[in-house]
């Protein structure tokens, strides 16, 4: 008999077309009560590319199906999480290739991919592209995943003194994404196979970059004011604030909010234990205000 789940998840997804002509984001999640396992899959179809909406749907459908096969076996999934996640991404990429090859008008289609997986309180993820994976903890917002965009590379050049901040800010290709699923070889793929230990009260946010119309400070302020709102209620507040920002070229917005809480039984039974510590630097994205350089420390299993 599998061990009883020690953590529960309050998850909700939301999506908005913004001011774009069509919806090219896709998002889905699966967090069953008592399962001790949950995941979300999000993809941002490439704006201006042929069939970007179909690319994101294919990516989400294929990766969701690949992870759903393991929903009754969290321990076996965790033991081979890197292989499962990378295989799912490669399968999604192959399906995009097959779709594009059979439809000449779809050549050039592509999508980012973001897939966080939580087993008990242990967070893993796979990331391709610039869709952010955020963690809100103790009133502060952190970016967890790599940013596969030219903007991230330009910002690194600024930090190294190779170019000026103005040159980076005004670079004509700043918004170019450097890795997406297009059916060809995936240039960059980040797979977090060593778990990040989540804490009770953490909020994980998997989102497309459309949310970054809001600054990091605006997002932090909104989340700090949310109190005990459910993920579904908070999702509506976030969408309302994006709408209120009234950005003239507001991109599609999609996200999944995941609140992590410890079960009452686990709280009563929790023994004190010493944990190993590790640290990493949470970096920012190309959008204003999300250059997050907080150092976050947490336990590993």
Of the listed ranges 27-36, 122-131, 277-286, the one predicted with least confidence: 277-286
Question: Residue 127 in contact with residue 114, Cβ under 8 Å?
Answer: yes
For 119, how many CA atoms within 13 A lie in the half-sphere containing its CB? 21
What proportion of the chain, given as a percentage, has pLDDT over 90?
69
pLDDT in tens, 227-250: 889 999 999 999 999 999 999 999
How large is the angle between the packed helices 52-68 and 81-102, nearest 10 degrees? Answer: 150
Fold of 7-147+177-300: Phosphatase 2c; domain 1 (3.60.40)
pLDDT at site 281: 42
Number of residues that make up the chain: 301
Q: Please, which residues have CB within 8 angstroms of residue 72's CB and are 6 or more apart in sequence?
A: none
203 vs 170, more confident: 203
Average pLDDT, the chain: 87
Q: Which of 295, 296, 286 is nearest to 156 (CA)?
A: 286
State the Cα–Cα distance between residues 23 and 90, nearest whole angstrom: 24
The band of 296, judged by pLDDT with boundaries at 50, 70 and 90, is: very low
Task: Quote the pTM value.
Answer: 0.87
pLDDT at site 291: 44
Q: Please, which residues have CB within 8 angstroms of residue 126's CB and are 6 or more apart in sequence?
A: 63, 85, 86, 88, 89, 113, 114, 115, 189, 190, 191, 192
Q: Which of 140, 119, 291 is nearest to 196 (CA)?
A: 119
Say if residue 150's pLDDT is above 90: no
For 42, how many CA atoms within 13 A lie in the half-sphere containing its CB? 29
pLDDT in tens, 47-87: 555 689 999 999 999 999 999 999 999 999 999 999 999 99
Question: Residue 258 in contact with residue 116, Cβ under 8 Å?
Answer: yes
128 vs 291, more confident: 128
């Amino acid at each position: 008999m599998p061990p009883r789940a020690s953590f529960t998840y309050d998850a909700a997804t939301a999506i908005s077309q913004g001011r774009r002509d069509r919806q090219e984001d896709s998002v889905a999640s699966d967090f069953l009560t008592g399962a001790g396992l949950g995941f979300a899959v999000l993809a941002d179809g490439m704006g201006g590319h042929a069939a970007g909406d179909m690319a994101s749907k294919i990516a989400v459908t294929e990766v969701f199906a690949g992870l759903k096969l393991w929903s009754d076996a969290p321990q076996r999934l965790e033991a081979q999480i890197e292989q499962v996640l990378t295989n799912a991404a490669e399968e999604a990429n192959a399906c995009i290739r097959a779709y594009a090859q059979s439809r000449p008008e779809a050549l050039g289609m592509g999508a980012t991919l973001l897939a966080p997986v939580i087993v008990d309180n242990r967070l893993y993820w796979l990331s391709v592209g610039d869709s952010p994976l955020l963690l809100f903890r103790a009133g502060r917002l952190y970016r967890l995943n790599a940013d596969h965009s030219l903007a991230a590379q330009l910002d690194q050049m600024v930090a190294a003194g190779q170019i000026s901040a103005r040159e980076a800010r005004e670079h004509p290709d700043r918004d170019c994404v450097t890795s997406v699923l297009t059916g060809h070889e995936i240039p960059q793929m980040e797979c977090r196979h060593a778990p990040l230990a989540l804490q009770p009260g953490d909020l994980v946010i998997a989102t497309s970059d459309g949310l970054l119309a809001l600054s990091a400070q605006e997002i932090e302020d909104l989340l700090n004011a949310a109190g005990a709102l459910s993920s579904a209620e908070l999702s509506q507040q976030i969408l309302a604030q994006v709408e209120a920002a009234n950005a003239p070229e507001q991109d599609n917005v999609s996200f999944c909010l995941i609140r992590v809480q410890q079960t009452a039984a686990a709280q009563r039974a929790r023994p004190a234990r010493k944990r190993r510590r590790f640290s990493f630097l949470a970096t920012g994205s190309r959008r204003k205000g999300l250059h997050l350089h907080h150092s976050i420390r947490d336990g590993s299993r």
